């Protein structure tokens, strides 16, 4: 398994081609005017020697790394994976690479990551669904020269943003309305712990009250944003509040946990219990009964975040935002 090779440098190419290193540099970067025969000769040598510029050297002098940092809470969740896919796609088109950081839903880790991914490491940063409170997040963001947040409101001076057209709690609000219209009387809510895409207990209570429905603060629970979380919290909720006839889940994986817990408890879905999920993941459509959910343009969210970021990296210091829409998809799990 021994392999090594001396790095071929600009000078090597220059010497071999009988020109100065600047000429080679210009050929590579397609900058400045170069005689076409010189260019051809240099190109030939570059290929022959298999020369490839050193990113480190270039970065040192241009202070451009051509790297985009992406911070996500859980790459294992297809929701985030598709966003990353979108970022990667656009980055690639612009000859940027993606530095992925998965914080494993661990705020400490997110904190560490945000302070380590400085401008000598990446040219810009996309922070997706940060799990940090403003008090810790904002100071960390201040140091980043180019920044885009996804699903997180921060001051416009700090970052461009990709977010829901209708606001952060749009999804749960619409889900609740849908359940109300479907005639559900006792609607529970599993809100995503630490996520910004969430409805507050107060708002939840207010909505149901306004609709003239019964509510209990107990029907609202914070829940880890995954299957296990949904399962555990729902088991508990179902045991303590068996009167519930429907549940708004923060995302699809939580909804799946809810579905499982409901099945275990012998509840028929949707007859005894209606469920609405969150993001339109493959899971949601393939499970039985198929889960009502929201279609979210995940790839496009990632792609737009990357575009906004590249704009900043390119020198545009204005605030920009991309608003996406998400619409309810009604399937078998709800009225």
Partner DNA sequence: CTGTTAGCGCCTTCAG
Partner DNA sequence: CTGAAGGCGCTAACAG
Does position 76 interact with DNA (CB under 7 A)? The reply is no
Q: Smaller CB distance to DNA: residue 36 or 157?
A: 36
Q: Smaller CB distance to DNA: residue 20 or 185?
A: 20
Q: Smaller CB distance to DNA: residue 22 or 282?
A: 22
Instruction: For residue 234, give both structure tokens.
Output: 């729902």
Give the one entry of a copy of itself, DNA, none that residue 157 binds, where binding means its C-beta sits below a cut-off of 5 to 8 angstroms depending on kind: a copy of itself
CB of 19 to DNA, least distance (A): 4
Does position 116 interact with DNA (CB under 7 A)? The reply is no
Instruction: Give bridge partners of residue 192 from the DSSP assignment.
Output: 223
CB of 58 to DNA, least distance (A): 4
Q: What share of the chain is helix, strand, coil (3-state, %, to 5)?
A: 45, 15, 40
The residues of the shown chain that bind a copy of itself, judged by CB under 8 A, are 1-5, 7, 52-57, 59-60, 63, 65, 67, 75-78, 81-82, 84-85, 88-89, 92, 97-102, 104, 109, 117-121, 142-145, 156-160, 227, 253, 256, 259-260, 282-283, 286-288, 312, 317-319
Does position 11 interact with DNA (CB under 7 A)? The reply is yes
Instruction: For residue 187, give both structure tokens.
Output: 């609607």
Does position 65 interact with DNA (CB under 7 A)? The reply is no
In angstroms, the CA 204 to CA 220 distance is 8
Q: Smaller CB distance to a copy of itself: residue 180 or 258?
A: 258
In angstroms, the CA 304 to CA 281 distance is 20
Does position 38 interact with DNA (CB under 7 A)? The reply is yes
**Strand ordering across the sheet containing 187-192:** 220-223, 187-192, 246-249, 274-276
Q: 135: exposed, middle or buried (C-beta count within 10 Å: 0-12, 13-18, 19+)?
A: exposed
- The helices-and-strands tally (H runs, E runs) of the chain is 13, 12
CB of 118 to a copy of itself, least distance (A): 5
Does position 281 interact with DNA (CB under 7 A)? The reply is no
97-102 and 67-72 beta bridge pairing: parallel
Provide the sign of the torsion angle of the four alpha carbons 192, 195, 200, 203, taken in this order: negative
Span of 27-35, 66-74, 220-228, 267-275 interacting with DNA by CB under 7 A: 27-35
203-211: long-range contacts (C-beta < 8 A, 24 or more apart)?
Answer: 203/169, 203/173, 204/172, 204/176, 207/173, 207/176, 207/177, 208/176, 208/180, 211/180
Number of Cα atoms under 13 Å in the Cβ half of residue 296? 31
Does position 46 interact with DNA (CB under 7 A)? The reply is no
CB of 10 to DNA, least distance (A): 3
Q: Smaller CB distance to DNA: residue 50 or 318?
A: 50
Does position 246 interact with DNA (CB under 7 A)? The reply is no
Give the one entry of a copy of itself, DNA, none that residue 149 binds, where binding means its C-beta sits below a cut-off of 5 to 8 angstroms depending on kind: none
**Site residues (CB under 7 A) for DNA?**
7, 9-11, 18-23, 25-26, 28-29, 31-35, 38-39, 51, 53-54, 57-58, 60-62
């Amino acid at each position: 398994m021994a392999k090594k090779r001396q790095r071929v440098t600009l000078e090597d190419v220059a010497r071999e081609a009988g020109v100065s290193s600047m000429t080679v540099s210009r050929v590579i970067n397609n900058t400045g005017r170069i005689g076409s025969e010189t260019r051809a000769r240099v190109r030939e040598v570059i290929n022959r020697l298999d020369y490839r510029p050193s990113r480190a050297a270039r970065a040192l002098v241009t202070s451009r790394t051509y790297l985009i940092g992406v911070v996500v809470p859980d790459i294992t969740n297809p929701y985030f994976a598709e966003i990353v896919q979108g970022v990667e796609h656009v980055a690639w088109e612009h000859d940027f690479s993606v530095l992925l950081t998965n914080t494993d839903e661990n705020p400490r880790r997110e904190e560490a990551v945000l302070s380590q991914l400085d401008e000598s490491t990446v040219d810009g940063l996309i922070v997706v669904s940060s799990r940090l409170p403003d008090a810790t997040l904002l100071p960390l963001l201040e140091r980043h020269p180019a920044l885009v947040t996804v699903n997180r409101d921060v001051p416009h001076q700090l970052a461009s943003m990709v977010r829901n057209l209708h606001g952060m709690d749009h999804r749960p609000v619409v889900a609740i309305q849908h359940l109300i219209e479907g005639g559900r009387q006792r609607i529970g809510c599993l809100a995503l712990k630490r996520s910004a895409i969430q409805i507050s207990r107060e708002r939840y209570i207010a909505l149901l009250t306004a609709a003239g429905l019964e509510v209990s603060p107990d029907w609202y629970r914070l829940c880890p944003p995954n299957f296990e979380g949904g399962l555990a919290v729902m088991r508990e909720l179902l045991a303590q509040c068996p009167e519930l006839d429907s549940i708004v889940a923060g995302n699809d994986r939580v909804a799946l946990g809810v579905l499982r817990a409901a099945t275990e408890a012998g509840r028929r879905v949707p007859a005894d219990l209606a469920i609405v999920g969150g993001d339109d993941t493959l899971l949601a459509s393939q499970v039985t009964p198929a889960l009502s959910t929201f279609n979210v343009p995940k790839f496009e969210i990632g792609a737009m975040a990357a575009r906004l970021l590249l704009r900043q990296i390119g020198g545009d210091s204005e605030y920009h935002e991309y608003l996406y829409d998400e619409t309810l998809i009604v399937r078998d799990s709800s009225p």
